[in-house]
Amino acid sequence: MVREYQEIFLEVAVRKGLVTTAVAEECRAAARRVGGNIVRFLRQHQYLTHEAAEEIRRDIERSGVRLRVGGYELLGRIGHGSTGTVYRARQMSLGRLVAVKLLAADLATDKRFLVRFYREAQLAARLAHPNVVQVYDVGEAQGVYYLAMEYVPGESLARRLARTHHLPPAEVVHIGKGMARALQHAETAGIVHRDIKPGNILLGQDGAVKLADLGLAKQVTLDDLTGARERRAVGTPSYISPEQAAGRQDADTRSDIYSLGATLYHAATGQPPFLAATTAELLQLHLEARPLPACQRNPAVPRWLSDIIDRMLAKSLQERYQCPAQVLAALEKEEPS
């Protein structure tokens, strides 16, 4: 029997003594009356802490109970991030394996984020390319917002690097070419990813390289470096472009090229271009510093590849490659035999 995720969540919360049966009934009544996310209801009314909610999720995953969200049966968790949790799932109507991302309950309360979530998911769903994870469906079931995507057997580049530290130059080039093709396709659709990083690059068991979360980059609020005000920056600090670090909202495909350069630098050398104790220091480095050339950090990196990565990491937009096609051409021209 496949059961709805929210109902089993509530049952586990009661069984563990984290909420009372009276509170559980209040949640069910509210869901019947106005709809909505039971987890969010518990959090908003301070019946459940974030830590307790995570404890319940872990218990559910260990229990082996077959859970359903909309028309998808959740089979096992693939990954977890600030915007939600991704599961391997079965689309029940077609019997195919997919990846389903459940949006974090906290984000589901942000109406502006939900509008953007739907808009950009619908845009990404129109893209079809071998190097892009295909988006199949977006929707809401009993207050749980989800995104269904192509399932890619394999692992993320982040997990690969956690195991191997760095990659051989030929594999770095293979990943770089795949991502350049993906960004070239996105550029034709007017999409800027804004969060290229190892965690968003999937490496298939068949050698495929695919870009995930296209157009769905998370937003991170960062304190202004002066401490005088707060501003918004989009991206992940270790791989963020200087213009994104500065909080500019006019990022274009050249910003994605910078972030891809930072990702390839990590893959080639075993670490991102910059390391710092705080986010503010890291952003300052992206704004002002030049990283040690990849070939100096790892002598196994050929000079030509180091030079390509270095140009991708140029501070000035005008000094970088101007489009993904130029990155692809550079990598193909110098590709090792």
Q: Which residues are catalytic?
A: 195
Burial environment of residue 104 by CB neighbours within 10 A (0 to 12, 13 to 18, 19 or more) = buried
| Edge-to-edge order in the sheet of strand 201-204 | 154-156, 201-204, 209-211
How far is residue 7's CA from residue 21's CA, in Å, rounded to a whole number? 13
Q: Are 204 and 153 in contact (CB under 8 A)?
A: yes
Phi then psi dihedrals of residue 323, to 5 deg: -155, 160
| Burial state string for 159-191 with b = 16 or more CB within 10 A and e = fewer than 16 | ebbeeeebbebebbbbbbbbbbbbbbbbbeeeb
Could you tell me which of 153, 132, 145, 11 has the C-alpha nearest to residue 72? 145
Distance CA 241, CA 208 (A): 26
At 290, list the tokens. 């030049």
Q: Tell me how far apart the alpha carbons of residues 326 and 322 are, in angstroms, rounded to a whole number.
A: 7
313: tokens are: 């990491």
Angstrom distance (rounded) from CA 108 to CA 77: 20
Return the H-helix or E-strand segment holding 79: strand 72-81
User: Count of H helices and E strands in the chain?
Assistant: 13, 12
